[in-house]
A and B are shown apart, each in its own frame.
Chain A
Amino acid sequence: MAHDSLYAAPSSSSAETERRTGRLTGLRGVLGSWDVAVVVALVVAALLAGVSVESFATGRNVQFLLLDLVPLAMLALPMTLIVITGEIDLSVASTVGLCSTVMGQLWLSSGLSLELICVLVVLLGAVLGAVNGVFVTGFGLPSLAVTIGTLALYRGLSFVVLGDQAVADFPASWTAAAVRDIPGTSIPVAVLPVLLLALVFGVVLHATAAGRALYAMGNNDQAATFAGVSVARTKFWLFVASGAVCGLVGIFWTLRYASARGDNATGLELTVVTAVLLGGVSIFGGRGGLLGVVAGVLLLGVLRNALQLADVDANALTIVTGALLVASVVLPNAVADVRARLHRRRQRANPVAP
């Protein structure tokens, strides 16, 4: 592909690299690293909410908060890896929707056991992801455009599968399991698979050869190719993984709300991308980490939950989402600019001094 990063003006001049890397180190100097900054922001937000919002630190609220975050957290994991390679997958929410309705339709009419249906749904998610992967890596089309297309396509198909019907008669044992707590705590069981998945993705990204390759191809896919990285194949499998995780989320979503509907998870894709970017992943690709993303997801969740408890209109809360996202990209650059300006002033002052 001619353009491997989204709307990135490819920086070819040495001055540009210098500027970018300089900015990065400048930021490190200020905040340690973005990961740490997001974690600190999360802790501060949680403490403030705990102190000032009455019902925030209750077991019941924590349970709801975590349950609400399960889909977002799971989808953010593969999205992080995809964005690091310089691609994007906007079709995740629609894939969740289609997986959910297919699950409903199969339960309604196929007579298969729910266990088998769940396996089939995850496979379906993987296939839907593979379709994205073929268009992006096989035909060399920009993932932004491809996944806007499949966003519409998969959502449309999910309406085709169930129309405006909802399938709700899932066995109570299953729907209850989706929201059950770990015995003796107010932490939902569903958090465990998310943690496991986060661990897997984190290890792959940060401690394997494949992870190194992801960062390399996100920054410069040509250089990665020359170093023996199969760029197209790796990206293809990332889209497949993303689809499979969407299948898992589809199952969870359906069971948690005990409802398979065509509009399940509508619009979630933008929240996922927001969380990933807030977590410090560069939309240019090649930079970011999983710890920051997990912290970003939690930060989003805590802020929205706390403000909701404080009686702020749920819809107006999107101001917070938007402001956080904008601040997360504007602030580092502004800080680095100010530092650079101070530095220059000091330099100018220096020659005068003895």
Chain B
Amino acid sequence: MSPEAPGADNAPLLVLDGVTKSFGAVAALRGVHLALHPGEAHALVGENGAGKSTLVKTLAGAHTPDTGRMALDGRPLELRGPADARAAGIAVIYQEPTLFPDLSVAENIFMGRQPLRGLRRIDTTAMNRDAERLFERLGVRIDPTRPARGLSIADQQLVEIAKALSFDARILVMDEPTAALSGVEVERLFGVARSLCERGAAVLFISHRFDEVFDLCQRITVLRDGAWVSTDRTADLTVDEVVRRMVGRDVSSLYPKQDAPVRGTLLEVSGLSRAGVFSDVSFTVRGGEIVALAGLVGAGRSEVARAVFGVDRYDAGEVRVAGRPLPPGSPRRAIAAGLALVPEDRRQQGLVMELSVERNATLARRRALSRLGLLIGGAERAEAQRWTRRLQVKASRLTAPVGTLSGGNQQKVVLAKWLATEPRILIIDEPTRGIDVGTKAEVHRLLSELANEGLAILMISSELPEVLGMADRVLVMHEGRVVRELSRAEADETSVMLAATGQGATA
């Protein structure tokens, strides 16, 4: 627990001391400490919702801290906006790319700093040339004159990286930049990061990939629930130790999966295909069973779930619910047939943030709750009360906008909404993304209970421990296909990862 630099002789470039930031009732950061030294690559790790992204936005000048100090080169640093952060030499690569879809790639890179010629006009030729050079340095080929609209996530990320490189940042913050990159691209990115460090810049690297963290970084800072936990040299740490600090308790207690009696087949997907997204996906889920759909980001898992539920159309194949074919393209019919889908993106797909807890919890049941077509007499209130109580949703009142709740409680409202429809089949996409550890365990216990009650559960998860801890069977997807089916006994980190990366596809 000694937050000191590799070469303790050099003074820190950037210091954060006791920084706090709250949104309404939710404390996103509570007293975070961080010191970045020149030439250092520093990792910031923590679970989803630990406050990493808020910290990044604070460094970027997008959030102003409520209390605490920041200092650059020993002088107090106050960031009143992103422009200030830029002026201070802080470049940020966000988790989600922030590009202008209508503008060309080169303009995206140089917005506000375009090379000029006479009369302060933009020198387009020079700008495109400079952009090309940046891409050469990164070893990729992207046409700088094409619009950013339609770039793949990986290419968008590369444009962001080129943007950060273009202004010779002294501090480069990378918020999970590698999630969509291939191995070669990651290596190149690390090469660039190391060369920046050699020139005296500092890199703050945020990632879930421990191999990369241990490969690139000299020190690791752990955050948990918005609070600073520790800062240590990488050499003094092991992966297990870091995980223990991130989670704050014994990992096994998080996955209280009980064995449930398995019943008949409820969901049967056969030969499902959608051009360019997934092809020939077949599987079954039985009552009482939790089946995990594992795979890398972009393998097509969420897309399969969306197609099964009817949000997206599919080109070929069939979905059967309890033996009966489910017509494609209609979430309404899917709900009527007993399907429920807890989507991966809570803010955009799961909830209507501006509406109240009550309205959100009963949105999918609005028809069933009507009497003679009318929704009056407190039917919604009673229903919402029943489910929020059962799931122990902590909300000041049922009429509070759901956006004011914490991430964990929001997720419970989504679950309440879908459990209220009394589904037979629950598809749940990233059940615990961005929620605190306590709620995580509650959600897992609930899933286990539901399976016990006879529900068929299809769980999509990018958290390997969650997959291994909760699933009765694991289906592994790779590039749009189900490449492997593993029983609970067969599934372990190695077998799932091998299949997910397309290496162990012997099934």
A227 within 8 A of B: yes
Q: B354 to A212, Cβ gap below 8 A?
A: no
Other-chain residue from B311, B366, B373 in contact with A213 (beta carbon distance below 8 A): B366
With A219-B355, A226-B311 in contact, do A17 and B331 touch (Cβ < 8 Å)? no
Other-chain residue from B330, B352, B373 in contact with A223 (beta carbon distance below 8 A): B352
Nearest CB in chain A: distance from B268 CB, A: 21
Q: B359 to A215, Cβ gap below 8 A?
A: yes
With A15-B63, A203-B374 in contact, do A223 and B351 touch (Cβ < 8 Å)? yes
Contacts of B309 in A (CB 8 A): 226
Q: Which of A19-27, A120-128, A187-195, A293-301 binds B?
A: A19-27
Q: B363 to A216, Cβ gap below 8 A?
A: yes
B438 within 8 A of A: no
Complex alpha-carbon distance, A271 and B311, angstroms: 38
Contacts of A228 in B (CB 8 A): 331-332, 334-335, 364
Q: Which residues of A274-326 have CB atoms within 8 Å of chain B's CB atoms?
A: 286-287
B348 within 8 A of A: yes
Contacts of A222 in B (CB 8 A): 348-349
Q: A22 to B24, Cβ gap below 8 A?
A: yes
Complex alpha-carbon distance, A224 and B359, angstroms: 12
Q: A17 to B403, Cβ gap below 8 A?
A: yes
Complex alpha-carbon distance, A286 and B335, angstroms: 24
Residues 213-233 of A, flagged 1 when their CB comes within 8 A of B and 0 if not, give 101100110111111111000
B375 within 8 A of A: yes
Contacts of A225 in B (CB 8 A): 311, 331
Q: Which residues of B311-334 have CB atoms within 8 Å of chain A's CB atoms?
A: 311, 330-332, 334
Q: Which residues of A224-251 have CB atoms within 8 Å of chain B's CB atoms?
A: 224-230
Interface of B is mostly: mixed
Complex alpha-carbon distance, A219 and B348, angstroms: 10
With A207-B374, A220-B352, A227-B417 in contact, do A212 and B335 touch (Cβ < 8 Å)? no
A14 within 8 A of B: yes
Q: A216 to B350, Cβ gap below 8 A?
A: no
A209 within 8 A of B: yes
Q: B363 to A227, Cβ gap below 8 A?
A: yes
Residues 133-168 of A, flagged 1 when their CB comes within 8 A of B and 0 if not, give 000000000000000000000000000000000000
Complex alpha-carbon distance, A21 and B25, angstroms: 13
With A15-B63, A21-B401 in contact, do A224 and B352 touch (Cβ < 8 Å)? yes
Complex alpha-carbon distance, A216 and B360, angstroms: 9
Complex alpha-carbon distance, A21 and B311, angstroms: 29
B265 within 8 A of A: no
Residue in B closest to A17 when the chains form the complex, CB atoms:
B403
A211 within 8 A of B: yes
Q: A212 to B374, Cβ gap below 8 A?
A: no
A208 within 8 A of B: yes
B370 within 8 A of A: yes
B376 within 8 A of A: yes
Q: B352 to A219, Cβ gap below 8 A?
A: yes
Residue in B closest to A14 when the chains form the complex, CB atoms:
B23
Contacts of A211 in B (CB 8 A): 375
Residues 1-44 of A, flagged 1 when their CB comes within 8 A of B and 0 if not, give 00000000000101101101110100000000000000000000
Contacts of B376 in A (CB 8 A): 207
Contacts of A216 in B (CB 8 A): 352, 355, 359, 363
Complex alpha-carbon distance, A14 and B369, angstroms: 31
B72 within 8 A of A: no
Other-chain residue from B335, B348, B364, B374 in contact with A220 (beta carbon distance below 8 A): B348
Complex alpha-carbon distance, A229 and B352, angstroms: 13
Q: B331 to A212, Cβ gap below 8 A?
A: no
Interface of A is mostly: helix
Residue in A closest to B310 when the chains form the complex, CB atoms:
A228
* Number of residues from A at the complex interface, CB < 8 A: 31
Other-chain residue from B348, B366, B404 in contact with A212 (beta carbon distance below 8 A): B366
Q: A18 to B348, Cβ gap below 8 A?
A: no
Find the residue from B362, B363, B376 having the highest chain A CB count within 10 A: B363
Complex alpha-carbon distance, A213 and B355, angstroms: 11
B87 within 8 A of A: no
Q: A208 to B24, Cβ gap below 8 A?
A: no
Q: B24 to A215, Cβ gap below 8 A?
A: no
Residue in A closest to B336 when the chains form the complex, CB atoms:
A228
Q: A17 to B355, Cβ gap below 8 A?
A: no
Residues 237-273 of A, flagged 1 when their CB comes within 8 A of B and 0 if not, give 0000000000000000000000000000000000000
Residue in A closest to B363 when the chains form the complex, CB atoms:
A227
Complex alpha-carbon distance, A66 and B369, angstroms: 38
Q: A14 to B26, Cβ gap below 8 A?
A: yes
Q: B348 to A227, Cβ gap below 8 A?
A: no
Nearest CB in chain A: distance from B326 CB, A: 13
Other-chain residue from A17, A207, A230 in contact with B354 (beta carbon distance below 8 A): A17
Contacts of A17 in B (CB 8 A): 353-354, 401, 403-404
Complex alpha-carbon distance, A20 and B402, angstroms: 12
Residue in B closest to A224 when the chains form the complex, CB atoms:
B352
Q: A212 to B23, Cβ gap below 8 A?
A: no
With A14-B403, A15-B63, A226-B331 in contact, do A21 and B375 touch (Cβ < 8 Å)? no
Contacts of A223 in B (CB 8 A): 348-352
Contacts of B362 in A (CB 8 A): 212
Complex alpha-carbon distance, A24 and B370, angstroms: 28
B80 within 8 A of A: no
Complex alpha-carbon distance, A6 and B348, angstroms: 18
Q: B341 to A212, Cβ gap below 8 A?
A: no
Contacts of B188 in A (CB 8 A): none
Find the residue from A21, A212, A223, A224 having the highest chain B CB count within 10 A: A223
Contacts of B330 in A (CB 8 A): 230
B137 within 8 A of A: no
With A212-B363, A216-B352, A226-B311 in contact, do A21 and B403 touch (Cβ < 8 Å)? yes
Contacts of B12 in A (CB 8 A): none
Contacts of A226 in B (CB 8 A): 309, 311, 331, 341, 343, 349-350
With A208-B374, A226-B343, A226-B350 in contact, do A18 and B403 touch (Cβ < 8 Å)? yes
Nearest CB in chain A: distance from B84 CB, A: 18
Contacts of A229 in B (CB 8 A): 331-332
Nearest CB in chain A: distance from B76 CB, A: 20
Q: Which residues of A contact B (CB under 8 A)?
A: 12, 14-15, 17-18, 20-22, 24, 203, 207-209, 211-213, 215-216, 219-220, 222-230, 286-287
**Closest 6 interchain pairs by CB?**
A17-B403, A209-B366, A21-B401, A228-B332, A228-B331, A209-B367
16 contacts between A and B (CB under 8 A): A17-B353, A17-B354, A17-B401, A18-B404, A212-B363, A215-B352, A216-B363, A220-B348, A220-B353, A222-B349, A226-B349, A226-B350, A227-B364, A227-B417, A228-B364, A287-B354
Given contacts A17-B404, A208-B370, A209-B367, 10 further A-B contacts (CB under 8 A): A15-B23, A18-B24, A21-B354, A21-B403, A209-B366, A212-B359, A213-B366, A215-B352, A220-B353, A227-B417
